[in-house]
Structure 1
Amino acid sequence: MKTTPYWWDSAPLARIEPGALPARADCVVIGSGYTGLQAALPVARAGRSVVILDKGMPGEGCSTRNGGQISHSIKPGLAELRRRHGPDIAAGIHAEGTASMAYLAEFIRTEGIDCAYRLCGRFDGAATPRAFRAMQARADGEKIRLVPRERQREELGTDVYHGGIVHTGYASLDPGKYHAGLLAAVRAAGAELHPATPVQTMQEGPDGVTLTTPRGTITARDVVVATNGYTPDAAGWHRRRVIPIGSYVIATEQLSPDLIAELFPTDRMICDSRRVIYYYRASPDGTRVLFGGRTSAGETGAKPAAARLKSEMCQIFPQLAGVGISHSWMGYVAFTFDKLAHTGRRGNIHHAMGYCGSGVGMASYLGMKMGLRVLGDPAGDTAMMRTDFPTRPLYTGDPWFLPAAVTTYRMLDRLGL
């Protein structure tokens, strides 16, 4: 069993040797995932000097470790957003979720990125009858279509759920190939990439923002913090506002086309209604099952995670009991205390982060918006800037409370509450 992402088999990480770090740049981007690269692209194409720093290889974080599901990424419902922020901001945030999906689809098309993008929809299974009743209230028959339990087998080869809903506008892709295509576009635009260059300190002064690294110091007019679940101590204000949570994924060995067709008759993305969710799909080439989620209260290793995820997978698909696991890996997503992504700036330090486990579309979209704001383009404005970015007293970025929270959520899931 490999302990590297399945996606790396067909899209290996780019091995870039770090060159000499320049003393200055117009823009320094910290992080080379979807957010950072999307921010760098318009700035570099506008002719400004862009330097991208990463503590690892480009895309080594969750941008090449996720499940490849594309949704609107807005966790709170419209009614909850209205209660929190009023009708105008709520409507704006809701619209940005739809805009993020449209942006990503158009970007992939215009850039010609071959990453198995498909508008396939997503089926959300109701773990309890109570969850199905809540789904009934949300279904509109068009964007969200109700699937009663007696028709569930048309969507998924299991009887474990109590029906569900289909989000018809959701999509899928190969996250490794998407990142590789995005990275190629950024390199072609002239941005410099410096892997293995973690940022140790960051200080804004009259001459710009100065960043220190083990390989030297660089000063920039603008800095983009695009680190999400990997935010370092150097960005302490941001680190105190995101909660890094490990998400674990396995890939099965190759399966027969008939079995894949039985399990995924519509080839959609799959999720469920539990608080501690599982997400899964067939691989883009239709040969494997990719199954992900949270495996334990605390973080764990690839081997125990694989065993636990397989057990959960076989609860849903008993047909897979004798199947081997070829890959097991994990990545850190970043949740926020209000379950919303946030973007904005403090001085000349810009940020976008906190995608709450649904970042493929929103990270791309907010990264692009952030790049436009660095250029002073009014098109970089977004409703996601209209809310405060909350933290909690005594929180410094280490989620000490996570094991207790996960245990509580699992108990509520088991009780059907």
Structure 2
Amino acid sequence: MRSDLFTDDFKTSPYWQDRAPDIQLPASELPNEVDVLVVGGGYTGLNAALQTAREGLGTLVLDAERPGWGCSMRNGGQISTSLKPSFARLVSRYGKETATKLCREGQASLDYMHHLSRVEGMDIGLREVGRFHGAHKPHLYERLARECALGHPVWQTDAHMVPRADMASELGTDQYCGGIVYPHHCSIDVSKYHPHLMDKTLQAGALIRGHCPVLTIERQKSGFKVQTGDGEVVAGKVILATNGYSGPLSHWHQRRIIPIGSYVIATEEISKEVVDRLFPTDRILSDTRKLVYYYRLSPDRKRLLFGGRVSLGETDPLNSALKLHRDMVSLFPELATVRISHAWMGFVGYTFDTLAHCGEDKGLYYAMGYCGAGVGMASYLGMRIGQKASGIEKSASAFDRISFPTRPLYSGTPWFLAPSILVYRLRDRFGV
């Protein structure tokens, strides 16, 4: 352990928590019966509850921790069109019509964040800063350039290439062979979004309760009997909004979600002169590695938030912090003496087809599996599943119409994670 890399006030909690406003939850008794019980008080659950409460349904949101404790306060605040598979791959799986619908919903997830900011009036710090996606190998730059020239069949990306000779306009590093800019991708202030979403949901009439784990969900002839840490609740409908924290509550969903740790550090404040030279824009940042780095400046442009997957298995944030710092310095040697003020992790909900999923089974609704792009998609699919539970959904989501795969022998523990990461590291080394 290199203690010289940590500030005196170093914390193993998300940087965003220090800045977040404290939304006090009203004290209330656990109701005996509700129309809709939402399991999980993050982006998915609150956006769903906002819809059901506005439709006049008695809505209760329960979280095993403080609402937002999971990835809704542990992410990097980056928003894109949220789909990992290429359009060509989607076409090969599902055909052109379904592929197009999936991509349109990816765009809709980004548009929904603008809706929350502009129409709902939520102060979430939304900014259309664009994304710079760096090529870590020359042939990967050429691949990006070909894709950029062809354009996207569905999205109006307005993307443009940045050759290596012009890298100083985007980043102060010589570790990329150029890259591509997607100007419509956005950032948010994570410390603002969840608290303001929770406040909006409370105003709509939903009850929200933290530190009240849901232990079992039992079907009845009509609705569900839900056993919680504070007693029993009868619910007409249940919405599972647990994503990477799903666990054994529903074994069917547990077999389809792969919890993978994502690790993040925040640096101490960096001098303005260094920040302006290394990061002349406020873009969100990523690269072509399979084991991707994602990073950005804090909203006040004083710190770097740097995240990625750095271990074969799950590890302590103190251990991951050292590795993330090493990787950060490999990109930006000038930051070698900059210390770490925060280090944390959260469980991303991955799926075997690298797509999000939502649906319903006789009153049990779900939305999950955002594969590391959950800020926009969790919010959007939470809204969609809330509308479906309210009975006001005009047409089913495309993510509701595709199969939700699992694999033989998988029961929720990703035993295959370490060998998969080793393979990805080899592929990243050669740019395969």
Q: Give the whole-Å Cα distance in 1 for the aligned partners of 2:244 and 2:308.
A: 16
**Cα-to-partner distance string for 1:352-392 (whole Å, 9 max, x where unaligned):** 00000001111110000111111111336211111000001
Residue 124 of structure 1 deviates from its aligned partner by 0.4
| Aligned pairs for 1:9-24 within 5 A | 9-11=18-20, 14=23, 16=25, 19-24=28-33
| Aligned pairs for 1:29-40 within 5 A | 29-40=38-49
Residue 111 of structure 1 deviates from its aligned partner by 2.5
| Aligned pairs for 1:151-230 within 5 A | 151-230=166-245
Q: Give the whole-Å Cα distance in 2 for the aligned partners of 1:135 and 1:209.
A: 50
State the SS of the aligned residue for 1:379.
coil
Q: Counterpart in 2 of 1:256?
A: 271
Q: Give the whole-Å Cα distance in 1 for the aligned partners of 2:375 and 2:191.
A: 11
Q: Give the whole-Å Cα distance in 2 for the aligned partners of 1:143 and 1:203.
A: 49
Evaluate the alpha carbon distance shift between residue 303 and residue 263 of structure 1 in structure 2; reply closer, same or farther with a 3 A threshold.
same
Q: Counterpart in 2 of 1:351?
A: 366
| Aligned pairs for 1:321-400 within 5 A | 321-379=336-394, 381-400=396-415
> How high is the TM-score relative to the length of structure 1?
0.97
Q: Counterpart in 1 of 2:85?
A: 76
Of residues 330, 335, 341 in structure 2, which corresponds to 1:320?
Answer: 335
| Aligned pairs for 1:260-279 within 5 A | 260-279=275-294
Q: Counterpart in 1 of 2:130?
A: 121
Q: Give the whole-Å Cα distance in 2 for the aligned partners of 1:15 and 1:354.
A: 29
Q: Counterpart in 2 of 1:50?
A: 59
Q: Give the whole-Å Cα distance in 1 for the aligned partners of 2:381 and 2:296.
A: 26
Q: Give the whole-Å Cα distance in 2 for the aligned partners of 1:267 and 1:171.
A: 10
State the SS of the aligned residue for 2:306.
strand
One-letter amino acid of the structure 1 residue matched with residue 353 of structure 2: D
Contact 1:248/1:331 (8 A) holds in 2: yes
Of residues 301, 304, 325 in structure 2, which corresponds to 1:289?
Answer: 304
Across the aligned residues of Structure 1 and Structure 2, the Cα RMSD in angstroms comes to 1.3
Residue 14 of structure 1 deviates from its aligned partner by 4.4
One-letter amino acid of the structure 1 residue matched with residue 274 of structure 2: L
State the SS of the aligned residue for 2:196.
helix
One-letter amino acid of the structure 2 residue matched with residue 69 of structure 1: Q
Q: Give the whole-Å Cα distance in 1 for the aligned partners of 2:274 and 2:125.
A: 21
Q: Give the whole-Å Cα distance in 2 for the aligned partners of 1:347 and 1:394.
A: 26
Q: Give the whole-Å Cα distance in 2 for the aligned partners of 1:229 and 1:94.
A: 23
Q: Counterpart in 2 of 1:96?
A: 105
**Cα-to-partner distance string for 1:64-103 (whole Å, 9 max, x where unaligned):** 1000000111110111101100111000001111111011
Q: Give the whole-Å Cα distance in 2 for the aligned partners of 1:92 and 1:135.
A: 24
One-letter amino acid of the structure 2 residue matched with residue 360 of structure 1: V
Q: Counterpart in 2 of 1:86?
A: 95
Contact 1:200/1:233 (8 A) holds in 2: no
Q: Counterpart in 2 of 1:67?
A: 76
State the SS of the aligned residue for 2:355.
coil
Q: Counterpart in 2 of 1:25?
A: 34
Of residues 285, 310, 322 in structure 1, which corresponds to 2:325?
Answer: 310
State the SS of the aligned residue for 2:76.
coil
Of residues 121, 127, 130 in structure 2, which corresponds to 1:112?
Answer: 121
State the SS of the aligned residue for 2:394.
helix
Q: Give the whole-Å Cα distance in 1 for the aligned partners of 2:395 and 2:208.
A: 24
In percent, how many aligned pairs have the same letter? Answer: 47
Evaluate the alpha carbon distance shift between residue 380 and residue 61 of structure 1 in structure 2; reply closer, same or farther with a 3 A threshold.
farther
Contact 2:11/2:343 (8 A) holds in 1: yes
Contact 1:26/1:48 (8 A) holds in 2: yes
Q: Counterpart in 1 of 2:12?
A: 3
Evaluate the alpha carbon distance shift between residue 240 and residue 13 of structure 1 in structure 2; reply closer, same or farther with a 3 A threshold.
farther
Q: Give the whole-Å Cα distance in 1 for the aligned partners of 2:228 and 2:100.
A: 42
Gaps of 5+ in 2: 1-9, 152-156
2:255 is the alignment partner of 1:240: yes
Contact 1:269/1:280 (8 A) holds in 2: yes
Residue 304 of structure 1 deviates from its aligned partner by 1.1
Gaps of 5+ in 1: none
> How high is the TM-score relative to the length of structure 2?
0.94
One-letter amino acid of the structure 2 residue matched with residue 39 of structure 1: A
Contact 1:68/1:173 (8 A) holds in 2: yes
**Cα-to-partner distance string for 1:297-327 (whole Å, 9 max, x where unaligned):** 1111121111110000000000100111111
Aligned residues: 417
Contact 2:384/2:393 (8 A) holds in 1: no
Q: Give the whole-Å Cα distance in 2 for the aligned partners of 1:180 and 1:379.
A: 29
